Structure 1
Amino acid sequence: MSDKKSSNGQNTYSQVSNSQLPVEIRGWNWGAFLLSWIWGIGNDTYRAFWVFVPGVNIVMLIALGLKGNEWAWRHREWQSAEHFKQVQRKWRNAGFIFTGIIVVFCVISVFGINALFKNSDAYKVSFAQVSDSKEVQSRIGSPLDSGFIIGSITTSGPDGTASLAYPVEGPKGEAKVALYASKKLNKWTLECLVVNYKSVEEQTIIVPCD
């Protein structure tokens, strides 16, 4: 292994062959995997920008995790293997914190959107009609609880549309509700409301779809 003096007089190591890489720095690099191009800038490993190329990005992320330690060791000067490990631990911790923030943000966003859906008049009107349906009550019982809502609601002033789907559960079974509604002059009207039963391939059509 070749060594030289840095500007501050400390020993640094660089430009070593793969066989000369210290054993203790080999292994998976979480900082490179989680922070990709950000880690690449900080470690002079600009090949990390391949993560922006469609079709290559996933492969590059894995490569960064597998080869990140080797690339970073070659592209920068380090005081020692221990110094290298200390710096990479900081990148790892930053990657975990960043990923945790993203996950928390996504969870909050998803549940926030679901709360907005459940507060919408389109959902409330549909759930009321499903709950009041005698046929639905006879199949899955009453009272009903609804689950996570997926779909979309778009509005433009007093007009809008809603296309939603959500599961419902009663004492005797489960089903899935699908609806389409439109809003005109701030009034929601159901144009399609269908309940599909989970245990059998049957459905209750409360509002026929056009």
Structure 2
Amino acid sequence: MDENNVNQTVNESTVPEQPKLGWNWGAFMFNWIWGVGNRCYLPLLSLVPFVGFIWAFVCGACGNKWAWQNGYFKTPEEFNKTQSTWSRAGLIAFIICVALTVMYILLFALFIAIAVLSNGFHNL
């Protein structure tokens, strides 16, 4: 057996999986719902008027860390699997929101163009 293969096998079997503490789309998009579901209650601050928009970004950036630190998950594997599901759902929701916003803007521009063309430019 090659020495590199032995080292790689030993390294892969002895290094446990670590929790992934980066950006979480689920915490960003579903902030307070994600917080209650993960027994993290700081995301409830997103319900405060004028704070919620900024707090959503804080939740996306810090959510995984908060969820891991609360001790609800027994293993990093369980944590990563659960947060991966939340993140996937959040990313899908984000893409849908962006697509709907773009469609709304395009339809609004189309209606403006139709109104201008049907009434002429002198009625603006």
TM-score normalised according to structure 2 size: 0.70
1:26 aligns with 2:30: no
Tell me the SS of whatever aligns to 1:25: coil
Distance 1:52 1:93, change over 3 A: same
Matches within 5 A, 1:1-210: 23-75=18-70, 77-120=72-115, 122-127=116-121, 190=123
Rate the CA distance shift 1:66–1:100 in 2: closer, same or farther, 3 A: closer
- Runs of 4 or more off by more than 4 Å in structure 1? none
**Preserved contact between residue 39 and residue 72 of structure 2 (Cα < 8 Å):** no
Aligned equivalent of 2:8: none
Shift of 1:31: 1.9
> d(CA) in 2 for partners of 1:117 and 1:59?
32
Q: Does structure 2 retain, via aligned residues, the 8 Å contact 1:30–1:92?
A: yes
Alignment root-mean-square deviation, CA: 2.4
Q: One-letter code of the match for 1:53?
A: V
Contact 1:32–1:68 under 8 Å retained in 2: yes
Higher strand share: 1
Q: What stretches of structure 2 of length at least 5 have no aligned partner? A: 1-16
Residue type at the aligned position of 2:111? L
Contact 2:18 2:76 in 1 (8 A): no
Q: TM-score, normalised by structure 1?
A: 0.44
User: How many Å apart are 1:38 and its aligned residue?
Assistant: 2.1
**How far off its partner does 1:73 sit?**
1.9
* 2:19 aligned counterpart, secondary structure: helix
Structure 1 counterpart of 2:24, one-letter code:
N
CA offset at residue 59 of structure 1? 4.1
**Which sections of structure 1, spanning at least 5 residues, go unmatched?**
1-21, 130-189, 194-210
Higher share in helix: 2
Q: Name which one, 1 or 2, has greater alpha-carbon Rg.
A: 1
The AA in structure 2 aligned to 1:107 is: V
Alpha-carbon distance in 1 for matches of 2:18, 2:66: 14
Change (3 A) 1:114 1:54: same
Aligned-pair identity in percent equals: 32
